Each structure stands twice: as structure tokens, then as C-alpha cells.
């Protein structure tokens, strides 16, 4: 194998800290590593959590988030960026400002994290507008059914509703591409990929998924978005990056293992 220090690109995760390592920044860095990509990280929030629940969430100082980004990006040019938990509107605005220091064309994957699986809010309501501004800069936005519903005002729990929500993301909220994840929908966990063309049309494609009954697994959304970012950093086209990332997460769910008393963590090899 070639020397990874010479050949591996850098991907940047802008996300919250999860001390279990199952989600958030710690999981993103493991996913980058599994793809042979160097992981850089800017922390947006400190969560206090175990494998059972989020106990507390503390946003980082917004000016420190902006400073982390500006200092880092003056020196390091990531080949792709993943954005996860943003906690507050002030932090989200700092991230939006900090993105101006990215080289033009750097692909951004936005996981529009609103809440943890246990229901704890991970983004305050008044930040949704800023989140949507960040979505306009993204190469891909990866909402689950609940996030797609909340941000578009459409019920994304049916296939027809997911298609409508994807169109709203692409045509009204300005996202270039959106992956509406079906893991939380009843029935087959098919994902919907919607890509807006230069002529303003939206191409929809259903990507079939298979439900893997492993019980609760933590951090699947974080892993999917960071796997797409890692693959974009390696130069894969968006459609291939999404397909590869979905297969990667499916394998990681099948290999999930308990590390505590609650949800399992992904098996990342
Ligand atoms: N903690 C952090 C820092 C996260 O970013 C996320 C999800 O994005 C979670 C927890 C929630 O993970 P889960 O939905 O698996 O509970």
C-alpha cells in the first residue's frame, strides 16, 4: 500500500463531542480513518452522554468556533467537510461565517442534526433558519424523516411525502442534493436521493435498503454523512459516494457491538 501520509486527503468534521465515541466528532474521525482519510475536527458543543442518553449539552463559545475554523483553514485545505451538531444559532452563524475560508468548490455534507434518538434537542429552534442557509452551501444534506419533516413542513414519513420534502429542500431551501434517509420510516428503510440539475429540475432516485435488526445502534446518521464526506474527499462522484457510504454503514450496523449498558456502537472494523 502507498504511504497514507503522502496520499491521504484531509476531511474536516465540524460537530459536537460525544464522549462514548459512538456519534459526533469522535465517530466521524473513526469513519474518516476507516476510509484512509485524515480527520481534522472543529468542536461545536460538548455533550455529556453515555450509551443510554444525552445528559446535557453545552455549546462551544461561538467566537471560539469561528476562530478554530479561521486558524485551521488558513493552514489546512480539507478536500471535503462534514457538518453535524450545531447546538445554537450563534454557533451555527459562526460556522456559516467560517465556511467563507474554504477553498471554492470544497464539498460540504450537512447532517441537519436536530435531536438525539432519546429526544434531547441538539439544535435550538431559532437556529433552523441558519441551518437552511448552510444547506444552500452544501453538496449534500442528509436529513432523516423527522428532520426532513421539521425543516420542510411536509410529512416525510411516506414515500410520496419524502419526495415532496426532497423537492422543497432542492427548490425552496436551495440544497443542491438531499438524501432523505428512510431508517426511521415503517417498512423498508429505502433512502431517497434528490439532485437538482442546472436547469432547475430535480432528479429523484430511490435507493433500496435492508433493515438490519441489531437493536438500537448509536451514531448511524453521523457515520453516513462522514462516510459520504470521506468519499468525496477521495474524489468519488456524489452518487458513488452516497452508495458507498450506505453500504459502509450497513456493514457497520451488522457489526455493531455493545460497549456499555445502552445502544450499541457501530462496528467500524
Ligand atoms: N451526540 C452528538 C454529538 C451527535 O452529533 C449526535 C447525532 O448527530 C448524537 C449524539 C445523537 O446520536 P443518536 O441519534 O444515535 O442518539
- The rounded Å distance from CA 82 to ligand 1 centre is 14
Q: What pLDDT is attached to residue 1?
A: 45
> Can you tell me the mean pLDDT for 67-96?
98
> Can you tell me the mean pLDDT for 88-113?
98
69 CB less than 6 Å from ligand 1?
no
- The rounded Å distance from CA 253 to ligand 1 centre is 15
For a pocket test of ligand 1, which of 15, 16, 30 has the largest count of ligand atoms closer than 8 A to its C-beta?
16
> Do the Cβ atoms of 122 and 16 come closer than 8 Å?
yes
- The rounded Å distance from CA 154 to ligand 1 centre is 23
Residue with cell 452516497: 242
219 CB less than 6 Å from ligand 1?
yes
Please tell me which residue, 1 or 217, carries the higher pLDDT value.
217
Percent of the chain with pLDDT over 70: 97
116 CB less than 6 Å from ligand 1?
yes
Whose alpha carbon is nearest atom 11 of ligand 1? 116
Q: How far is it, in rounded angstroms, from Cα 158 to Cα 187?
A: 10
pLDDT digit string (tens) for 138-162? 999 999 999 999 999 999 999 999 9
pLDDT digit string (tens) for 245-268? 999 999 999 999 999 999 999 999
Q: What pLDDT is attached to residue 226?
A: 98
Size of the chain, expressed as the number of residues it contains: 269
Of the candidates 171, 156, 258, 174, the one whose C-alpha atom is nearest the C-alpha of residue 217 is 258
The answer, as to whether pTM is greater than 0.75, is yes
Residue 105's CB is within 10 A of a number of other CB atoms, namely 6
Residue with cell 432523505: 180
59 CB less than 6 Å from ligand 1?
no
Angle made by CA atoms 82, 118, 26, in degrees to the nearest 5: 35
Q: Looking at the predicted structure, is the pLDDT value of residue 5 above 70?
A: no
User: What are the C-alpha distances in Å from 113 to residues 16, 71, 99?
Assistant: 10, 25, 18
Structure confidence at residue 6 as a pLDDT band (50, 70, 90): low
> Can you tell me the mean pLDDT for 31-56?
97
Structure confidence at residue 3 as a pLDDT band (50, 70, 90): low
- The rounded Å distance from CA 199 to ligand 1 centre is 36
pLDDT digit string (tens) for 172-213? 999 999 999 997 777 788 999 999 999 999 999 999 998 887
pLDDT digit string (tens) for 207-246? 999 888 768 999 999 999 999 999 999 999 999 999 999 9
Rg (CA), the chain: 17
Q: How far is it, in rounded angstroms, from Cα 260 to Cα 246?
A: 26
Whose alpha carbon is nearest atom 4 of ligand 1? 24
Q: How far is it, in rounded angstroms, from Cα 161 to Cα 58?
A: 34
Structure confidence at residue 107 as a pLDDT band (50, 70, 90): very high
For a pocket test of ligand 1, which of 13, 85, 86, 92 has the largest count of ligand atoms closer than 8 A to its C-beta?
85
218 CB less than 6 Å from ligand 1?
yes
Q: Which atom of ligand 1 is nearest to the CA of 113?
A: 8
Mean predicted lDDT score pLDDT of the chain: 95
Q: Looking at the predicted structure, is the pLDDT value of residue 2 above 50?
A: no
Q: Which atom of ligand 1 is nearest to the CA of 45?
A: 3
> What cell numbers appear for 152 in the block?
420542510
44 CB less than 6 Å from ligand 1?
no
Burial class (CB in 10 A: 0-12, 13-18, 19+), 250: middle
Amino acid at each position: 500500500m502507498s504511504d497514507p501520509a503522502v496520499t491521504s486527503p484531509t476531511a474536516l468534521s465540524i460537530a459536537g463531542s460525544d464522549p462514548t465515541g459512538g456519534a459526533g466528532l469522535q465517530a466521524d474521525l473513526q469513519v474518516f480513518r476507516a476510509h484512509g482519510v485524515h480527520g481534522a475536527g472543529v468542536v461545536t458543543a460538548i455533550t455529556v452522554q453515555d450509551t443510554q442518553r444525552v445528559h446535557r449539552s453545552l455549546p462551544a463559545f461561538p467566537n471560539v468556533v469561528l476562530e478554530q475554523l479561521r486558524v485551521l483553514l488558513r493552514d489546512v485545505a480539507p478536500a471535503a467537510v462534514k457538518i453535524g451538531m450545531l447546538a445554537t444559532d450563534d454557533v451555527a452563524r459562526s460556522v456559516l461565517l467560517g465556511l467563507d475560508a474554504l477553498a471554492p468548490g470544497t464539498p460540504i455534507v450537512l447532517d441537519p442534526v436536530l435531536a438525539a434518538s432519546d429526544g434531547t434537542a441538539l439544535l435550538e429552534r431559532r437556529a433552523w433558519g441558519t441551518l437552511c442557509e448552510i444547506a444552500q452551501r452544501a453538496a449534500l444534506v442528509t436529513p432523516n424523516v423527522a428532520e426532513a419533516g421539521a425543516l420542510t413542513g411536509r410529512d416525510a414519513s411516506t414515500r410520496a411525502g419524502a419526495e415532496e420534502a426532497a423537492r422543497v429542500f432542492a427548490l425552496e431551501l436551495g440544497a443542491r442534493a438531499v438524501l432523505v434517509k428512510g431508517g426511521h420510516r415503517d417498512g423498508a428503510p429505502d433512502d431517497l436521493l434528490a439532485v437538482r440539475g442546472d436547469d432547475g429540475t430535480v432528479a429523484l432516485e430511490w435507493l433500496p435498503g435492508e433493515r438490519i435488526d441489531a437493536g438500537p445502534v448509536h451514531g448511524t446518521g453521523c457515520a453516513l454523512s462522514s462516510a459520504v464526506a470521506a468519499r468525496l474527499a477521495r474524489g468519488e462522484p456524489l452518487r458513488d459516494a452516497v452508495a458507498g457510504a450506505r453500504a459502509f454503514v450497513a456493514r457497520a450496523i451488522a457489526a455493531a457491538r455493545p460497549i456499555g449498558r445502552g445502544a450499541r456502537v457501530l462496528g467500524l472494523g
